[in-house]
Amino acid sequence: MLGFFMFMLLFFKFSQLVILTFAVRVLYAVIFIAVLLFILVKSYRNAEEMVYGINKKRHPLVEWMSRKSKVLYAILVPIGSLVYFIKTVSESAGDLETKMVGSLLGVLPLICSAVLFVFLYFSGVMIRSYYLNKYSEEFRQKFGVEKEVWYGLKPFPLGDEDQAKQKSL
């Protein structure tokens, strides 16, 4: 996870090199830092909730976005499509491939910021895996998993013939 985190940090710095306007570079850096801080705080709170059992509340922004997702998509998709269309038909790029790649390079830092949310998911998976391997029985009890589900069903008892075969082996 730390390798992925460092890769994303360096990839963001690389993607900043293709942005020509200083103001846009600063804006992308502010967005990246805000996303980074949000993910670090959120993953820490998720870890606390998992370890100590603190009640977990959804972030108000997440709650608002989940309620308004259809409206947001209805607004953002046409705007994004329009911006992408304008960039691809501009006369500054020579052919269609150059236009498409050039227009995608401008949002590469934002894509990098969005990929950081993968870290939020995998940090929870890593913490759960750590506790699962280190404190297996306590973990099972904390999350209320039944023994039959956790360990599987007991094998059927062996008959007299099967026991004799097993002893001879």
Q: Does residue 100 lie within any of the structural domains?
A: yes
Per-residue pLDDT of the chain in tens (169 residues, 90 and over written 9): 778 778 888 888 888 888 878 888 899 899 999 988 888 888 777 777 766 665 566 667 767 777 888 888 888 888 888 877 776 676 665 666 666 666 677 788 888 888 888 777 777 777 777 766 666 777 677 777 777 777 666 665 555 555 555 555 5
- Of 159, 115, 161, nearest in space to 4 by CA: 115
Is residue 166 included in any domain, yes or no? no
Residue 126 belongs to some domain of the structure: yes
Decide if 36 is inside a domain.
Answer: yes
55: left (phi over 0), alpha (psi -120 to 50) or beta: beta
Q: How far apart are CA 16 and CA 22, in angstroms?
A: 10
Residue 92, classed as helix, strand or coil, is coil
Domain count for the chain: 1
> Cα–Cα distance between 119 and 5 in angstroms, integer?
7
**Looking at the domain assignment, is residue 154 inside a domain?**
no
**Residue 151 covered by a domain:** no
Token duo for residue 89: 């038909």
Which residues span the domain enclosing 45? 2-146
What pTM did the predictor assign? Answer: 0.52
